[in-house]
Structure formats: C-alpha cells, structure tokens
Amino acid sequence: MLKRFHARAAKVALAVATIVAVTTVGGNSGVSAEDEQSPIKNVIILIPDGMANDATALARWYKGSSLTLDQMASGMVRTHSADAPIADSAPAGTAFATGHKSHTGFVGVLPDKATMPGQKAIAPGDERKPVASVLEASKLAGKATGIIATSEIMHATPADFTAHYPDRKNYDALSKQQVYNQVDVVLGGGSDYLVPSGRSDGENLVSSIKALGYDYVTTPAAMKASKSGKLWGMFAPAGLSYDMDRDPAKQPSLADMTQKAIDILSKDKDGFFLMVEGSKVDWAAHANDPIGIISDVLAFDNAVKVALDFAKKDKQTAVVAVTDHGNGGLTIGNAATTGSYDKEPLSTFIGPLKKAKLTGEGLEAKLDAKRTNIKSVLKQYYGISDLTIEEIAAIKAAEPGRMNYAVGPMISKRAGIGWTTGGHTGGDVVLYTYAPNNDRPFGVIDNTDIAKYMARVLDLDLDAVSKQLFVPAKQAFTAKGAKYELNLKDAKNPAILVTKGSQKLELQIYKNIAVLNGKKSSLNGVIVYNGTDAFVPQDAVDLIK
C-alpha cells in the first residue's frame, strides 16, 4: 500500500513539475517543444459586452447545467480606461483590439491623456492618433477577417476592431471605414446606417458593399445559402432582437452567425481572425433586466461552443472569451434577502425568472396601442399577477423601446435579484481562454494584454502596423515637397488633395481609395481623419515621387 502511495505521489510531483516548467513569470503559460510544432494560425475573440460575474452564475442556474465558458476560465482582467476606473465600451474595446487604453467614446485612437495610476503619459502630438487593431494587422498578414455583433456593427465594440474616430456616435465615419477596410465577413444589425436616409453624408453604402464584391444578405436563409467568400449580412435596422424574442426566420442566432463566419474564414490557408460580440447583454444590464441578461448570456455561450468545438477539431485556433466591463452591479440576492439569504431555496431566485417567455423588450410588442391590457400581458408572459398601481403606471409611461427598463426591475424584485446601478461597474472580469498548445494567459492581467496576447500568438507586430497604416498625412506629403490640402467642403466626398508638379493625388477620407492623375487604386488601409488631423497608409505616401 505504501509503495503504491509513493508511486502516485511521484506521478503527481512529476505532473506539477511539468506544469511549473512550462509556466512563465507573470502567469502566462509557456510553450513546450511539442507545442511549437502546432503554431496558432487563427484567433476567435468573443465578447459578451457588460457581462458581470453574477450574470454567468444566474444563467447557469437558469439553464440547469454548466456553461461552455466554465471549462475555459483561466484568469481575471482589469477593465479601467486611460483616465477612469470604470470604462465605457469604446475604450474598453479599443484596449482589446489595439493594446492601448483610451478615453470614453474614443474608438481605435489614443486618448488625450492617461491619468490612471501606472499609465504612461501620452506623447505630445499623439493625442487621438489612430492605432492598429489585431484585425487590421491580421488582414495585412494575409489572413481572412470577420466581425459579428448583435448590435449595429458600427456600435462601439465591433467598430473598435475595424475603424478609428474619437466619437463612437459618428456612425457615418465608422461605418464607411468598416466598408472600405474590406473585412471578409460582417454579420449583425445596423442596415439603417448604410443607406442615404440614415446618414448625414447621404451615401449609399449598401451599393458600395455590393460593388466591392460582397454577397449582401438580409435573412438567415440567404446567409446559410451564400457560397461567397465575402459576406455582409444585415438582419435588423439597428440592433438585433434578444435571443429569447428572436424570430428564427428573420434573424440568425449568434451561434448561427459564428458558425457561418468560421465556415467562410477557415478556408483561408493563411488563417483568420474573428471578433464576435454578444452586444445586448450590456443593454439588458443597463435596463436592470435579468431576463434579457439570461437570454443573451446563454445565446453567447452557444456561440462560444461553436468556436470551441471548431478550435478543438482544428488544433490551430486560440479562443478568447472576455467581457469588456461589468454592468448593473447584478447580484443573486438583494436587500430583501438580507436576513434570509442562506435559507432561500434556488426556486426563490429562479422560479419567477422561469415564468418569463419574453424579455422586457419583446413584451412591448404584446401591449396594445393604449396599453389597456397590461395586467393580462404581464400575467401571460411574465407570470406576474400582483402588479401594484405604481408598476402599472410605470409600464404605461414607458417610452417606446424602453419597456425593459420598466419591467426588468419588477421581475428582479420578485426574484430576489439586486442591482446597484444602471451603468457600468469597475471590477475585474473573468477571462476565458483555450489554446491547443495551452499557450494562454493566466492570473490577473490588464485588458490591453488581450490584444498583446492575440498579436503574439498570431506573430503580429501592432506597433509596426500602426506606423504602416497611420502616417501623419500633412507631415509626410510636405516632407516630399508636395502641396497638401484637406478638403472637407463636400460632406459626401471629403478628401486629401496632394499636388507635386504634374502629379495630382486624391485620397478619399474614410475609404481605401487613391486617385493619382485620374487612375484609381486601392490602398492597404483606410484614410483616417480624427476631426483635426488626417492619417494615411504608407503606400499612399509612396504614390508621390
């Protein structure tokens, strides 16, 4: 018996020694000689925007079994921005995409200042300067690229990977860059912002998308049937429905979109980079709507399963799943359970939630025009038959599109769910990772380390790509002895005009188009104007001799 014990102990010691041997200082696992024979060629990052830790626990209890995410947990991530402990989605996504912290509302550009402890000061002249994303670097390396979101695709997080501007609300600038950055697969919502009626510049980007060779689809059936290597799918005017409210004939699930994107992108022999966002976890949290949270955390987890199943079979794909920040301060347990928290059965919290058949957003469509059927609708779709006079008044007064803000707190109260805020929170969030060679981050890391990890495993140099894609235009062209003019008079066609001798160059802002002496060509990246200065790819500068 003693010999067998020592034998088992020796095996355990050997296993521990092996783990320690391949672990680097700082918590990142190293790569063994065997691992080096299987380099990472693809990366899939999945972002459940605003998913607090208790949201996964709540979704797990509701589901009644483990989440796919559970097996991937490997660490924690600090979420602060450059100048605030609680981050907005734009700088939080910028950190994931570029490896740089930024300021509230800033998409893919540096902040004006970095004042949080430990942050390096922004060099004079670098304020609001665009910085390259892992997606852009992947594209330059010859890899296929894709973005997916359940929000509008020009919303903060997907825009962080594909565009650059110091105002997340400037959908005109962001969406035009997304189109002309020529991402191979784009799936989500936001069709209203691609047509002239939804744009201040009056441009028809749907026509541009089709002219660039995309198969432009608007239904799940068309998405599934598409054989194109370039696919652009728009399934809603703005954001998609919550998964619980979704009509499968009109909108694909996040898992469906993820599978389609992988099917297309994985055909590229050079590999691919894919960003997938479960956008409306965040929207539900802002509304303190636990049904919306559960709906889209579970939908997100299904998408994670699609990515993980592919990665395990492919053996060349790393998967990262991580939220950009917490939101709402969701707790399982509220003030009412202060004296009974440890005596409450699971049914106290999950029972009322199980009765809901729709999210608060979906519930709105069931109310008549004058909202005279509030009691019957809440009883049928939420199992609530004890509405107070105040609750009825709140439902009746809810503005269009804001019904989840009215009914979310009502079902939360009945389910013992607590909320501390209607805004974001500043705590660390869980990091979920998978890599076939186990080269993945561990411990507590910074949100900027996500981009650095993805760039490292894909052998990308983000700083070098930034220098290649974002050359200060005025400085570069005047150094060549050329005359430089920034022409912003035509809102539909803002451009940089460069002349030197007989050479006349027009560079169309937010596009990748250069016109030299009347001859059009495509550049390696888009022209970026940040409201003050313009930046161009090096190959644009090289056109002037």
In the sheet with 503-508, reading across from the earlier edge strand, the strands are: 483-487, 495-500, 503-508, 513-516, 519-522
**75 token code pair:** 């660490």
Q: Is 157 annotated as a binding residue?
A: yes
- How far apart CA 272 and CA 294 sit, in angstroms, is 30
CA dist 338 → 71, 211, 413 (Å) = 32, 61, 13
Q: Is 277 annotated as a binding residue?
A: yes
Q: Which residue has the tokens 């110091």?
A: 166
- How far apart CA 284 and CA 156 sit, in angstroms, is 16
Say if residues 274 and 43 touch (Cβ distance below 8 Å): yes
3-state secondary structure of 117: coil
Q: Which residue has the tokens 């005359």?
A: 483
Q: Is 164 annotated as a binding residue?
A: no
Please state whether beta strands 42-47 and 272-277 pair in parallel, antiparallel, or not at all (unpaired).
parallel
Q: Is 103 annotated as a binding residue?
A: no
Q: Long-range contact list for 61-65, CB < 8 A, 24+ apart?
A: 61/332, 61/346, 61/349, 61/350, 62/294, 62/298, 62/350, 62/353, 62/354, 63/298
Q: Is 282 annotated as a binding residue?
A: yes
Q: What is the DSSP letter of 195?
A: S
Q: Is 325 annotated as a binding residue?
A: yes
**Residues in Cβ contact with 137 at an 8 Å cutoff, skipping those fewer than 6 apart:** 455, 458, 460, 461, 462, 465
**443 token code pair:** 């411990």
What angle (nearest 5°) sits at the alpha carbon of residue 467, between those of residues 508 and 145?
70
Please, which residues bridge with residue 498 across strands? 484, 505
Which helix (DSSP H) or strand (DSSP E) does residue 353 occupy? Answer: helix 346-354
228 class by beta-carbon count within 10 Å (0-12 exposed, 13-18 middle, 19+ buried): middle
Say if residues 440 and 22 touch (Cβ distance below 8 Å): no
User: Does residue 89 have an active-site annotation?
Assistant: yes
DSSP per-residue string spanning 430-497: EEEEE-TT-----EEEETHHHHHHHHHHTT--HHHHHHHH-EEHHHHHHHTT-EEEEE-S-TTS-EEE
Go through 48-65 and write b for each residue having 16 or more CB atoms within 10 A of its CB, e for each that does not: bbbbbbbbbebbbebeee
Say if residues 220 and 203 touch (Cβ distance below 8 Å): no
What angle (nearest 5°) sits at the alpha carbon of residue 48, between those of residues 45 and 52?
130
Q: Is 424 annotated as a binding residue?
A: yes
Q: Which of 29, 74, 81, 89 is catalytic?
A: 89
Largest distance between two CA atoms of the chain: 92
List binding-site positions. Answer: 49, 155, 157, 277, 282, 286, 324-325, 424
Catalytic residue set: 89
Which residues contribute to the annotated binding site for Zn(2+)? Answer: 49, 282, 286, 324-325, 424
* Binding region for Mg(2+): 49, 155, 157, 277
